[in-house]
Structure 1
Amino acid sequence: MSLTCLNQLLHLLADGQFHSGTALGQHLNMSRAAVWKQLKGVEALGVKLHRVRGRGYRIAGGLDLLDVEAIQRQLPLLDPTFNVQLHMSLPSTNQTLMQRQQQQSIHGEVVLAEVQTSGRGRLGRQWQSPFGQNIALSLGWQFSGGAAALEGLSLAVGLALTQALADLGVQQVQVKWPNDLLVDGKKLAGILLEMRGDTTGPCHVVIGIGLNVHLTHDDAIDQPWASLTQLGYRLSRNDIVAHILLRLSQHLHRFVQYGFSALRDEWQRQHYYQDQKVQLLLPGKSVEGICRGVNLAGALIMEHDGVVKAYSGGEISLRPMEV
């Protein structure tokens, strides 16, 4: 199947209007039989086609397709220059960059996918990303100080996302330690960082971002969630991606120069659980107390019976106190 033809067909159908097989064939310079085969390819991506005899085919509601040129037009000259690549379907944008890193530098490489079939979240959870509904984005970045220089990186990325959305008028988004964006306690976005390289020297990090944009229902999601469309925002995914990349560039350069400590106060002003009663789920046990934010390294600070302690690490989950 020609990816170019499939992409052209999706753009023709993106307006949500009916298009006859004959008209589609004329636009694509192919036979009706070839158009039908391409339409099967559209359905294979998880896109629902509406067929009416005598009128043709349409995608109800249309599609907000990603467009690399539309994204690049909004990006000034960045250092490094972001190389944005768009795929119709991938198992995982993070996995794609991690594999690419084995052969070349991925510093400034951006991978987008219209649909992710095996997207991953933190602690091995699945991230749902149906065709054309969300943003599945991964960015490669090189760091020179090893694992120790990455403390608080996921928090810096979360802050960049909240500010990118604020640039577009979305104001009520808050951060949850260590890698989620919430609206009224519902998950709007998640972040997954994966590192490869020297733990004490140069290393590459893949910054994976999943953001719910147009999603209106998904029975497979097992936690409270929100999307920008649900919240009343009708935003172009291309505009969102461009603003995310701009804010990531700013915050990553600031993070490299000053570390998370320079961003801590801003992060805490956006913190959903600041000074709230919470439960911290650790391997084999849980801790209840008051969340006092994070320290200068990005570790979570908990107060329990007057004792303040910092927590960091991978297998930790933060929850509101059960009433």
Structure 2
Amino acid sequence: MQQDQLQSLLAVLADGEYHSGSELGELLGVSRAAVWKHLQKLSELGIELDSSRGRGYCLPGGLELLSESKIAACMSANAALLSLEVLPLVDSTNTRLMSRAEQLPSGVVCIAEQQSAGRGRRGRAWVSPFARNLYFSMLWRFDGGAAELEGLSLAVGVCIAEALESLGVVGVSLKWPNDVLADGKKLAGILLEMSGDPAGACHLVIGVGINVDMAAAQALDIDQPWVDVASLARAQGLAPISRNVLCARVLSNLCDLLSEYPEYGFARWRERWMARAAHLNKPVRLTTASQQIQGVLVGVDVSGALKLATDAGEQLVYGGEVSLRSES
């Protein structure tokens, strides 16, 4: 199925109402037999479809699809210059932007309903069911190289947390260096990738994945405790939170962050990260490729380095292939 046909089909079925095969065939400009083949392919995306003789086909409960116009309408004035691309399916939003980083302008955003090869930190796959979560990446140009990017992944976490808080969600915490948690479970992840001159002009791609409304059956491959925005909203007595609105809030926050980061760096964001720090003043175990360190997490410094109080004194740990676990 072509992506434009997929978008057209889903746009009709997203209302949760029944639509006849002839109506769908007329919309797509294909025969009813071809409609049936298209509908069968929806199951490959993990989309539940209900059929009823005499009534047609529907998506039970409907489906909120992502929309460039809806996201743009909810973004801040500062973020209005971002260039948005919303696609039904990509291999990876980060990969799509990284492969074209030299040709694209700063501020391009790729948003997908589903990723076939989504990636998290340390080479892990990012589970990406169709139209249930948020998967997007933003490309930004920096002229000062990697030195301008110290602590940036932590500040991105603050942007996500503050976007959720602006929609009423409470209890969001940040786990060094790249995870957003709620109730001690993973809610969102961040993946930063850079190309270009490490000491000069470079392109940074910021990838964000947020669990929004994911069924347990869709998350069987996730190897750690997780939570989604929908379950938090229900538990906290909030109205359902729109993916389009949440995406717009995060993108607006990111645009503000990236615009000022070369001038102010992480120092302006440190206290906001500390106020949401997971495991603060608690024992943790930190594992790198070459060693394990046990200590009490006492915070981060102005560069974003983790501060651990250990038996050998305070140690600073910088980013990289690092795993942090609670020891309490």
**What is the TM-score normalised by the length of structure 1?**
0.95
Give 2:20's aligned amino acid.
Answer: S
The equivalent residue for 1:282 is 288
Deviations 1:163-220 (A, max 9, x none): 1111111121111100100001100000000000101101100000000001121111
Deviation at 1:74, TM superposition (A): 1.8
The equivalent residue for 2:203 is 204
Instruction: Specify every segment of 5 or more residues in structure 2 that has no aligned partner in the other structure, as ranges.
Output: none
Tell me, yes or no, if the aligned pair for 1:6 and 1:41 is still in contact at 8 Å.
no
Deviations 1:277-305 (A, max 9, x none): 11111223311110011011000000012
The equivalent residue for 2:101 is 101
Deviation at 1:254, TM superposition (A): 2.8
SS of 1:15 mapped into structure 2: coil
- Matched residues in 1 for 2:79 and 2:44: separation? 38
SS of 2:292 mapped into structure 1: strand
- Matched residues in 2 for 1:221 and 1:214: separation? 15
Tell me, yes or no, if the aligned pair for 1:134 and 1:214 is still in contact at 8 Å.
yes
Deviations 1:81-136 (A, max 9, x none): 1100011111100000000114x134100001100111110011111010001000
Tell me, yes or no, if the aligned pair for 1:88 and 1:115 is still in contact at 8 Å.
yes
Instruction: Specify every segment of 5 or more residues in structure 1 that has no aligned partner in the other structure, as ranges.
Output: none
Tell me, yes or no, if the aligned pair for 1:294 and 1:300 is still in contact at 8 Å.
yes
- Matched residues in 1 for 2:36 and 2:68: separation? 27
The equivalences for 1:161-240 within 5 A come to 161-217=160-216, 218-231=219-232, 232=234, 234-240=240-246
- Matched residues in 2 for 1:40 and 1:256: separation? 49
The equivalent residue for 1:292 is 298
Deviates more, 1:233-242 or 1:176-185: 233-242
**What is the TM-score normalised by the length of structure 2?**
0.93
- Matched residues in 1 for 2:60 and 2:98: separation? 36
Give 1:20's aligned amino acid.
Answer: S
SS of 2:256 mapped into structure 1: helix
- Matched residues in 2 for 1:224 and 1:173: separation? 15
The equivalent residue for 2:323 is 317
Is 1:16 paired with 2:12?
no
Tell me, yes or no, if the aligned pair for 1:135 and 1:210 is still in contact at 8 Å.
yes
The equivalences for 1:105-116 within 5 A come to 105-116=104-115
Count of aligned pairs: 321
Deviations 1:29-69 (A, max 9, x none): 54322322332343333322222333221122221100111
The equivalent residue for 1:53 is 53
Deviation at 1:15, TM superposition (A): 1.8
SS of 2:113 mapped into structure 1: strand
Deviation at 1:71, TM superposition (A): 0.8
Give 1:287's aligned amino acid.
Answer: I
The equivalent residue for 2:131 is 132
- Matched residues in 1 for 2:319 and 2:176: separation? 11
- Matched residues in 2 for 1:42 and 1:274: separation? 44
Q: Identity rate of aligned residues, in percent?
A: 45
Note the aligned Cα RMSD (angstroms): 1.6
SS of 1:289 mapped into structure 2: strand
Deviation at 1:75, TM superposition (A): 2.4
The equivalent residue for 1:120 is 119
Residues 274 and 147 of structure 1, relative CA distance in 2, 3 Å threshold: same
